[in-house]
Amino acid sequence: MTFAVHGLPVARGIAIGRAVLVVSSRLDVAHYFIKPEEVEAEIDRLRVARNAVSEELQKLQASVALMGPNEAPHELSALLEVHLMLLQDEVLTSGVKHWIVERLYNAEWALTTQLEVVARQFDEMEDEYLRERKADLEQVVERLLHRMKGTAAVLAPTPPRRKRSAEDEDSDPTAGDAIDAPLVLIAHDLSPADMLQFKKSVFAGFVTDVGGRTSHTAIVARSMDIPAVVGARTASQLVRQDDWVIIDGDAGVVIVDPSPIILAEYGFKQRQGDLERGRLARLRHKPAVTLDGQRVDLLANIELPEDTLGAVKAGAVGVGLFRSEFLFMGREAQSLTRLPDEEEQYQAYKRAVEGMQGMPVTIRTIDVGADKPLDGKSVRDDAHLNPALGLRAIRWSLADPAMFLTQVRAILRAAAHGEIHLLIPMLAHASEIRQTLALIDFARAELDNRGMVHGHVKLGAMIEVPAAALTLRIFLKHFDFLSIGTNDLIQYTLAIDRADESVAHLYDPAHPAVLRLVAETIAECRRQGKGVSVCGEMAGDIAFTRLLLGMGLRSFSMHPSQILAVKQEVLRADTSKLTRWVEQVLESDDPASLLLPAPAPQ
């Protein structure tokens, strides 16, 4: 039966494919694809774990038998027997093998996937006793996962695709096994580290129950240029493994088990989107110059050095934001030995510089905390009541000077290979500025003492806290340029947790207070002859392109997938005719009503 789930559209386009559910577990479960030649090894891992758990349960049974009735009630022995039966159950074991052999899932992923399938069968049972056995099954799976923990194979970035036969091509796309069908990811939530792992995979789109428009899950989705919907509430509970799903990233709608008519309609929309992208691709080599001759720099936001390939392909004239924290994701935050050392970071930054082929690269120092924990776990589960207001970004770095110095030394060394700008996130106090600059000077002195080659970097600060936007004079004394991080600026100005879907409707980039802070920052930088850019999601939103141009912005940094659409808006704009309209927007109580459509050149 066809039904729809509504959420927040965060990455545009249409995706049609089979659902892959990432099932939550009390353990951290790795999800990755294996190579065909690794199938037997994964099945062996599962078999070894099952035999070990079976032996463990049998030993427990034996010890229970030796105990008196007061020490171990009869029910305990019966419970262990149930666990042994579930462990050997053919539905569980054959199902897990199916996901390993047919879908090339790693053993842990296959196990949690089959758990989800069987658990739903338990939920549908009329007998209350049988329904309650689902908890026993979950406990058995947890035991297996514990046994397999630490024995995972090396990650394979993409699964090999099986070629479909001519008969398959001519058939209904939803008919049969459709091994070669596109895959769409359905999850309750995904950490930034999860997203990086899936970024190297083959998913055509994804849906999460939680998240906001500018949560980092959404940001990485846009960088992957795949349709995505977040904040879909119960999607992971309603969608079943292998269901056919349509993700409408424009409307924020997820359609499950679509009818042939709906499939045809969305297939047409998908082709129209492909045609539009083809038309935009023709603008790649065209300089971004407005109708009145204003040159505009369109830069790229990246997470990893390999992303520079997409940036160059999209026509970016540099990297305006390299989110360096993604080099740190998924490691133990408590142990510096598990973090990337100076050499590893240096090589990564050097690859990014080389990848941009002589164009400038702006590297933001590590910005962790809030929705970007180092260990991949949700910070909302830890002791911090409000991590967005806690130890994050430059506060984190200043609390751990050794880590910060390691990163700064690596960046300075990489600057010997090309133009690098060093960007500091979330500064708000003059004392923080002084501490930061002193540590950067100390890092330079350390390299000099070692006799190591390093280069000059321009220093910049992020304006993402209202306190910073209101004290620009202090910042412009010390920094060569400023970069407006609109995602956090909106969050902190409006007191909205941008990762919380329950208040997502209040997240408003067109709020008068936000627009005034942005406009005043741009104007002050221009008055003092300092560079300024916008690197938040507002920079890649074509609804704001002409407004930002009218405010005087000439440097936009966004995901590579958004560059061509923004370039088209730039090419159609006449900044000399935008001044009065911008004033009207800034004076309005309801700026959003004036943004679309923006005035066309006369």
Catalytic positions are: 216, 535
What secondary structure letter does DSSP report for 307? G
Give the long-range contacts of residues 168-177, CB within 8 A, separation 24 or more.
172/260, 173/16, 173/263, 174/244, 174/263, 177/102
Q: Rounded CA gap, 229 and 336, in Å?
A: 36
Three-class DSSP labels, 488-545: HHHHHHHCCCCCCHHHHHHCCCCCHHHHHHHHHHHHHHHHCCCEEEECCHHHHCCCCH
Find tokens 């577990």 and name the residue. Answer: 25
Q: Are 158 and 170 in contact (CB under 8 A)?
A: no
DSSP assignment of 378-422: -GGGSS-S-GGGSS-THHHHHH-HHHHHHHHHHHHHHGGGS-EEE
Q: Considering all CA atoms of the chain, what is the largest pairwise distance in Å, rounded to the nearest integer?
A: 93
Q: Rounded CA gap, 488 and 491, in Å?
A: 5
Please give the structure tokens belonging to residue 538: 């507002």
Coil vs helix vs strand at 372? strand
Coil vs helix vs strand at 122? helix
Find tokens 């027997």 and name the residue. Answer: 81
Q: Rounded CA gap, 183 and 469, in Å?
A: 43
Find tokens 């830890």 and name the residue. Answer: 382
Of 369, 404, 595, 355, which is closest to residue 499 (Cα–Cα)? 369
Query: CB-based contacts of 261: which residues, under 8 Å, 6+ apart?
Result: none
Q: Rounded CA gap, 361 and 301, in Å?
A: 10
Coil vs helix vs strand at 301? strand
Q: Are 485 and 535 in contact (CB under 8 A)?
A: yes
Of 542, 1, 491, which is closest to residue 238 (Cα–Cα)? 1
